[in-house]
Structure formats: structure tokens, C-alpha cells
Amino acid sequence: MSLEKFLNTAVSSWMNQEGPDSDIVLSSRIRLARNIVDYEFPTVFSNEEAQQIVELFEQHFAQQSYRSLGRFELLKMNELQSIEKRVLVEKHLISPHLAEDCPFGACLLSENEEVSIMINEEDHIRIQCLFPGLQLTEALEMANELDDWIEMHINYAFDEKRGYLTSCPTNVGTGLRASVMMHLPALVLTQQMNRIIPAINQLGLVVRGTYGEGSEALGNIFQISNQITLGKSEEDIVEDLKSVVQQLIAQERMAREALVKTLNIQLEDRVFRSYGILANSRVIESKEAAQCLSDVRLGIDLRYIKNISRNILNELMILTQPGFLQQYAGGALRPNERDVLRAKLIRERLKMEEKKAMEGDE
């Protein structure tokens, strides 16, 4: 498969679009957890019950269109290859739990891949909306509409006092998890992140590295989300998160300005060295690739690098993960083979950008 063709099928349409503040906020996501009344939760439900729930979705929602989202496709986990599932996980469309541990799991996916509704995961239904840039309010609106659409055919487990009943009491109430993915290289470089994370935690929000294991943030990408789901309205939860995110954006911009002022040439050097590694290396591990991609993206934002499109970080962070690499290769790869293919894919992708820039000059 040619790289261009692979990119067309691999990159969700929303990944190419830019949203508000997308120099720092890569994406916004809303998740609503819902359960169906009269069915036991996935923790204990029988295979028959699980099957019936999938059938409900097949009957009412599969192949249906909803407004601008296009047609919904129902993907059943037991009918997918393991590489296909892994690709869905790396695109953040389904959870690793759904891919690996839910034999009766399914996913109702919109044509543009903005909306993914997981079925029979930890809860019967998990509605997820993914938007580029900082668009939490827009994503919540969309999730609410889809929630009403599903409720037309399904009776939710709801209690006046406790709200939407979820399998885990950490999600009860609104069942809402709102999160944003942020690229914060300057706050990491100036070592402010270690100070900021505990402060954010105190506000009832959670900060995590998106791709790294544990607390390490691969590519300086952090995910910030709400912890509390009960006792606050959906709008308040989203507003509270948004205000913290806006503060972080301001802090990151200030740190970037300070970096440019104090170590302009060193910063430029770092950006171009990383570009050199990405453009020339023959073997590259995901950790090094992530750090270099982060540097190059910062270089684009600071206009040291002018002829490369901005979304290269989001795109290559996803495309250079094991599942995607193996889909690109068309089969299983050993870790050292992945590192070689990763380097090749990045080199070719950067060449495509150069070609595009040259055509633009002519």
C-alpha cells in the first residue's frame, strides 16, 4: 500500500481539521456512560443478555444516519482481527478493555469517526465524541443529542437521586468524563509541569500522560479530565475543566515566549536537530520519535519551521504506534522491525510535506 493511500484510510477526517487553540489543544473528548434498565451490568450479565443488547443496536441504529455525522457502522469485536482492533484503540475510538476483554463488545462508529459508541464495555453504552482543538461545549452538545437519540429506543437505568446508574460508582450521576489532550512542551522544558499537576489535582481534575506509561508523558502530550461526576451539572463540569485548560494555555504560551526570549538559538537548534533525526534516521524507537515530533511541532508553532503542516504531531503520534505500523506493513512485526518501519514512515511523510511545499512555491 502506498503511504498516501494508507494515510487516507488511516487518518480520521477530524484529525486533519483545526479547532480553536489547536496550537496547544490537540483534541477535546466527551464520554457519557449509560446503562439499560432491566439488564444486568456487563460485570455479571449473561451471554444472552449481552447478545440482546447488541441486537438492539443492530435493529435501531446500525446503518442509520444522524445529521451531519453520516452513516453509523456497527463493528462487533468478535468479528474483527486483532490488528484491526488495535488500530481502533490507537485512534482512541475504542478502549483497550473493549478490544481485549469484551467478547460481546461492539462499537457503533460514525462515518467521519467523530462519534464512537461503545457497547457492552464496563457499561452497556458509552457515547464518545472527539473534536479537534478546544471544543468541549460543542462536543457535549453533540453527545447530548446522541444521548436523546438513543433514549428514543432504549430505557436508561436512571434514579432521581443518583442520576444515571453506572457499573462503577466513580461514574454515577452524569456519567460524564470530559477530557482534553494538550501539547505542553514549554511547561515541561521549563520544569513547571511538576508544580502544576498537583495544583490541578486539587481542583478535582486528573492529569495523565496520554501515550506514556504511568506518569511519563510521551511527546509532552497530557490528558486532563474531570474526576467528579455526581452533584454537578454537565455544563458546570465542562466549564470547570475549560477554565483550567484556558489557564494552562495561557501558561504554556507565556513559557514559550520566555523560552524564545532567553534561549532563542538553542531552542532553534533543538528543533532542527530533532527535525534532522526524523528526516534521516533509519531506526527509531517510539519514545525518541515522540520527543522529536514534539520538538518539531513546537518549531512549527514558533515559526522556526514554516513548510510543514501543524497536524503532523497528532497524525504521526498515532500512525507510528505498533498497531498502525503493522497494518501499514500488512502483517505482524517484531519490535526491531517496527523501529525500522517507523523511521521509514516518518521519513516518507516528511518528504510528502517537502514536495507539497515545493509545489506550492512554483
Partner 1 sequence: MNRLICQECKQKPATMHFTKIINGEKTEFHLCEHCAQEHGDVFMFPENAGFSIHNLLSGLLNFESPIKETKPNAFQGIELLQCERCNMTYHQFAKIGRFGCSHCYHTFAKQLQPILKRLHSGNTTHAGKIPKRIGGTIHVRKQIEQLKQKLQELIVREEFEKAAEVRDQIRLLETKLSEHREED
Q: Nearer Cβ to partner 1, position 40 or 84?
A: 40
The residues, ordered by sequence, that sit 6+ positions from 7 with a Cβ below 8 Å of its Cβ are 315, 319, 349
The reply, when asked if residue 126 is annotated as ligand binding, is yes
The answer to whether residue 47 forms part of the interface with partner 1 (CB under 8 A) is no
- The dihedrals phi and psi of 340, each to the nearest 5 degrees, come to -70, -45
CB of 121 to partner 1, least distance (A): 12
**Rg (the chain; Cα; Å):** 21
- In the chain, DSSP assigns E strands to 25-34, 72-76, 106-110, 115-119, 125-132, 158-159, 163-164, 176-183, 205-209, 221-226
Cα dist from 238 to 137, 139, 229, whole Å: 7, 10, 11
Contact 29, 93 (CB under 8 A): no
Among 232, 242, 344, 347, which residue sits at the site for partner 1 (rule: CB under 8 A)? 232
Q: Which of residues 172-201 bind partner 1 (CB under 8 A)?
A: 172-174, 176
Contact region with partner 1 (CB under 8 A), list: 9-17, 64-72, 153-161, 305-313: 153-161
Contact characters 316-345, partner 1, x per CB under 8 A: ------------------------------
C-alpha 209/C-alpha 319 separation (Å) is 18
Q: Nearer Cβ to partner 1, position 173 or 299?
A: 173
Cα dist from 131 to 224, 243, 247, whole Å: 15, 18, 20
CB of 335 to partner 1, least distance (A): 18
The answer to whether residue 151 forms part of the interface with partner 1 (CB under 8 A) is yes
The reply, when asked if residue 213 is annotated as ligand binding, is yes
CB of 46 to partner 1, least distance (A): 10
Q: Nearer Cβ to partner 1, position 38 or 79?
A: 38
Q: What is the DSSP string of 70-97?
A: -BEEEEEGGGS-HHHHHHHHHTTSS-HH
The answer to whether residue 35 forms part of the interface with partner 1 (CB under 8 A) is yes
Contact characters 102-141, partner 1, x per CB under 8 A: --------------------x-------------------
The residues, ordered by sequence, that sit 6+ positions from 220 with a Cβ below 8 Å of its Cβ are 183, 184, 185, 188, 291, 294
Among 158, 268, 283, 285, which residue sits at the site for partner 1 (rule: CB under 8 A)? 158
Nearest to 240 by CA among 255, 225, 260: 225
The reply, when asked if residue 29 is annotated as ligand binding, is yes
CB of 288 to partner 1, least distance (A): 22
The answer to whether residue 157 forms part of the interface with partner 1 (CB under 8 A) is yes
The reply, when asked if residue 233 is annotated as ligand binding, is no
How is residue 145 written as a grid cell?
Answer: 443529542
Cα dist from 91 to 80, 239, 324, whole Å: 16, 26, 9
The answer to whether residue 96 forms part of the interface with partner 1 (CB under 8 A) is no
CB of 193 to partner 1, least distance (A): 20
The answer to whether residue 27 forms part of the interface with partner 1 (CB under 8 A) is no
Among 3, 62, 230, 283, which residue sits at the site for partner 1 (rule: CB under 8 A)? 230
Q: What is the DSSP string of 211-233?
A: SSSTT--GGGEEEEEE---SSS-
Q: What is the chain's percent helix, strand, coil content, to nearest 5? A: 50, 15, 30
CA within 13 Å, CB half, 303: 2
Among 144, 190, 192, 309, which residue sits at the site for partner 1 (rule: CB under 8 A)? 144
Binding residues: 27-31, 92, 126, 177-181, 208-213
Contact positions toward partner 1, by CB under 8 A? 35, 37, 39-41, 43-44, 122, 144, 147-148, 151-152, 155-165, 167-170, 172-174, 176, 204, 214, 228-234, 237
